[in-house]
Chains A and B, each alone.
Chain A
Amino acid sequence: MKLKGIRVPHKKHTAQMPPVRIPVPKTVTIPMAMHIGRPAKPIVKRGDEVKVGQLIAEADGYISAPVHSSVSGKVQKIDEMMTAMGAKVACVVIETDGLQTVSETVAPPDVHDLKSFIDAVRQSGSVGLGGAGFPTFVKFSFNNDEKAVDTVVINAAECEPYITSDTRTLLDRTDDVFSGIALLKKYLNVKRYIIGIEGNKPEAIAKAQAVASQTEGVEVHVLPPMYPQGGEKVLVYNTTGRLIPQGGLPLDVHVVVLNVTTLAFIAKYVETGMPLVEKCLTVDGSAVKEPKNVIAPIGASIADVLESAGGFKSEPAKVLYGGPMMGIAVPDLTAPILKNTNAIIAMDEREAQPPKTTACINCGACLTHCPLRLDPRAIAKAYKKGEAEDLKTLCVDLCMECGCCSYVCPAKRHLVQTNKLAKAVLRNYQAQQKAKEGAK
């Protein structure tokens, strides 16, 4: 049995398009928080000359990631800015010189054992490129003498509509992907590797299978062409048959999940020493004139990227970081490309208009389509009444916010949005319970 989900229009218009590099923008704005964890601490100041690949901010604490300059030029300012996620964060703004001079510090790292490998991954600034942006090296920091991990699942599901950047990684950078696997084999002492690809990418599947058949320990797993196959819980279950427990991590079922582009990047970094300074992303959506895949320096504005895709067919009414199912709407086009941005989707007025919400008709579509078998209808009722105990019974904390429920709802109710709020209610309630118990 496989965990399913919903059929969404794939809209993979750009699957056949190898990425093209965009022209060097005039300025880049590089936020210090492009990962989960503490923001990085800037080590450059106004007026400093910087080069491509130069460290401009250090990781702050364990769960954090360093940040490097994606361009050569001069630091114009370091400023607090509001991100699309709604948090204020320091950003390094660099005026480019257009030369893209590579920093002298860029040199292949010395990798000879597990420790030096993890160190290198840490220095590379690598974060989960599939979306969440979790610092990659943390995932490798387990003790495998105790058989903590026996399988690495490589996430190439790419289940969001429009996005094809991971597909391009598999097609254009197949060698990087497999040298990445070779590195993990060598240093992590894990024998089994599963590449999970959604069935709607026959070319990528064929290419991966061809190489995998000659590589020991690598399997290609074709997933049903349904959203959200790339969701961690769904992916791990559908590839290994193991269910990540409530509130747990893949590590709890002896699995590490790695996005395919992250893996390709790590291989490239070990080979060249060029840190994470640019990103392949899909530019598409109903308002985009020439949908395509591009490679953009991190910190380039969305406007720069959209311009390279021929600008607009019609006035964009909504622009997203990421795909239409889980993407985040940006306030304006000056927002920068982040490490974990895998697509920019610009929607025209018609595509962007949120549908009208009507009364729940109790059809049950939300609960039959939830991949994790939650009951969003009951959760919404419990949330409205403020019943935290009910929310606990309904396991709202399990919700991965994939949005299947909202997508299928004929009344267009804000179900996943309510789930998010309900999760916060439950968290508060559980914190209070804990505090009460502590007081006893």
Chain B
Amino acid sequence: MSQMISAVSPHFHHPRTTRSIMLDVIIALVPAMIASVLIFGLRSLMVIADCVAVCMLSEWVFEKLCKKENTLGDLSAVVTGIILALNLPVGVPLWQAALGSVIAIVVIKQLFGGIGQNFANPAATARIILMTAFSSSLTNWAVPQPFNFMPDATTGATPLALMTKGETESLPSYLDMFLGNTGGCLGETCALALILGGVYLLIRGVITWHTPVAFLGTVAVMSLVCGQDVLAQLLSGGLMIAAFFMATDYSSSPATKWGKIIFGVGCGLITILIRFWGNFPEGVSFSLLLMNILTPYIEKLTRKKPLIGEVDN
């Protein structure tokens, strides 16, 4: 008889692992990636590949240098790379995208302790840093040329920029905005693809409805209150990708049910504040970053009371 394994209970574990969760997120991002290629051409694929490769490389190098365990297998670096790429315009110089990837992985994720420890969303923060550093190339929006895989480099305004300037008559149709046939970042324009991915994550139980519903709902209600075009506000900018894929980031958002709702509402409010009254046409990334900072407090306030006395829902 060989040595028996001695371990404390439980002796059963759910098959879900960090890796399988990240794989689900990657699967959920596939429609948005396909949409980005269809809308903005093959260069989209180059930007995505660039970000993913540099994210993985910087994670590997950092962990090697710090003699930490290699965590490439959990696929979280791949997820960060894809989300960052989808938050950049198609014409972004590849070296800038690479720099953003290094910032996301090394500065925002690894320096704070690696997966689960980062207080801010790596992709959102990296995008903000790139925007501040290279504002011209980061706001150089290619005009979408669907099914033209090698489009010429003409640029135009995004729907949000048009709305900010008050040129609402030149806004694209709702259908074009829903399908993503508008100017904007790689993966943020096609609401259809993002909703598909979001629904997949909901079905798989990777995310819950609380954050996206609170986030999108707040933007809708506030647009209505402020007399803005509700649908256009919902379908434009980085709102959809943020609501489903970035505001639901485990490590930088609250884990409690009410915490998620407060987080979503907060993101929605800040987004609206910046969109309507700020200097930038878009405020989603800033809203994420600001709410990320509040996450520990929100979590503390919304922690469920252990079952010691009354049972409430």
Contact = CB atoms under 8 A, between A and B. Distances in A.
Interface of A: 1, 3, 6, 8-9, 161, 233, 237, 243, 245-246, 315-320, 324-333, 345, 347, 352-355, 358-364, 367-368, 371-375, 377-378, 394-395, 398, 401, 403, 406-412, 414, 416-417, 420
A326 B116 contact: no
Contacts of B5: 317-318, 329, 352-354
B12 A161 contact: yes
B6 interface: yes
Contacts, number: 147
A433 B4 CA distance: 41
Interface in B3-43: 4-14, 16-18, 20-21
Given A361-B250, A375-B303, A410-B16, A417 B4 contact: no
A360 B9 contact: no
A359 B11 contact: no
Interface in B249-277: 250-251, 254-257
Contact of B4 (A1, A245, A327, A332): A332
Given A245-B308, A374-B306, A407-B13, A359 B6 contact: no
Contact of A320 (B11, B305, B306, B313): B11
B120 to A, nearest CB: 13
B9 A398 contact: no
Nearest to B8: A417
A403 B12 CA distance: 9
A319 B4 contact: yes
Q: Is the interface of B mostly helix, strand, loop or mixed?
A: loop
Given A359-B114, A362-B251, A395-B306, A352 B311 contact: no
A253 B248 CA distance: 41
17 contacts: A1-B311, A3-B311, A6-B14, A237-B311, A317-B2, A324-B10, A329-B11, A363-B21, A363-B255, A364-B250, A367-B256, A377-B255, A403-B9, A407-B12, A408-B16, A411-B18, A417-B8
Contacts of A361: 18, 21, 76, 115-116, 250-251
Contacts of A233: 307
Given A330-B4, A359-B114, A395-B306, A412 B17 contact: yes
B304 interface: yes
Contacts of A1: 311, 313
B309 interface: yes
A15 B82 CA distance: 49
Contacts of A332: 1, 4
A359 B309 contact: no
B71 interface: yes
A237 B312 CA distance: 12
Contacts of B11: 318, 320, 324-325, 327, 329, 345, 347, 352
Given A362-B250, A367-B304, A398-B308, A403 B10 contact: yes
B74 interface: yes
A410 B255 contact: no
A243 B309 contact: yes
Contact of A372 (B9, B12, B306, B310): B306
Contacts of B305: 373
A329 B4 contact: yes
Interface of B: 1-2, 4-14, 16-18, 20-21, 71, 74, 76, 114-117, 250-251, 254-257, 303-311, 313
A325 B13 contact: no
Contact of A367 (B251, B255, B307): B255
Contact of A358 (B10, B74, B251): B74
Contacts of A355: 13, 17
A327 B12 CA distance: 10
Nearest to A396: B306
Nearest to A349: B5
A201 B85 CA distance: 51
Given A361-B21, A410-B14, A243 B9 contact: no
A363 B207 CA distance: 9
Contacts of A328: 9
Nearest to A351: B11
A54 to B, nearest CB: 33
A8 B257 CA distance: 23
Nearest to B5: A318
A316 B4 contact: yes
B4 A331 contact: yes
Contacts of B115: 358-359, 361
Contacts of A378: 303
Contacts of A371: 307
A231 B25 CA distance: 35
Given A318-B11, A359-B116, 20 more contacts: A237-B311, A243-B307, A245-B308, A246-B308, A317-B4, A318-B6, A318-B7, A320-B11, A324-B11, A324-B12, A326-B10, A345-B11, A347-B11, A354-B5, A361-B250, A362-B116, A367-B304, A373-B306, A395-B306, A406-B13
Contacts of A358: 17-18, 71, 74, 115
B79 to A, nearest CB: 11
Nearest to A325: B10
A333 B255 CA distance: 43
Nearest to B11: A324
A411 B115 CA distance: 11
Nearest to B74: A358
A206 B244 CA distance: 46
Nearest to B206: A363
Contact of A9 (B1, B12, B114, B306): B12
Contacts of A331: 4, 6
Closest 10 CB pairs of A and B: A364-B255, A403-B10, A395-B306, A324-B11, A324-B12, A361-B116, A246-B308, A318-B5, A373-B304, A362-B251
Contacts of B21: 361, 363, 410
A326 B255 contact: no
Greatest chain B CB density within 10 A among A315, A372, A409, A410 is at A410
B16 A360 contact: no
B5 to A, nearest CB: 4
Nearest to B22: A361
Nearest to B253: A362
Given A398-B308, A403-B10, A360 B116 contact: yes
A407 B16 CA distance: 10
A395 B2 contact: no
B7 A354 contact: yes
A416 B18 contact: no
Contacts of A407: 10, 12-14
Nearest to A248: B308
A304 to B, nearest CB: 15
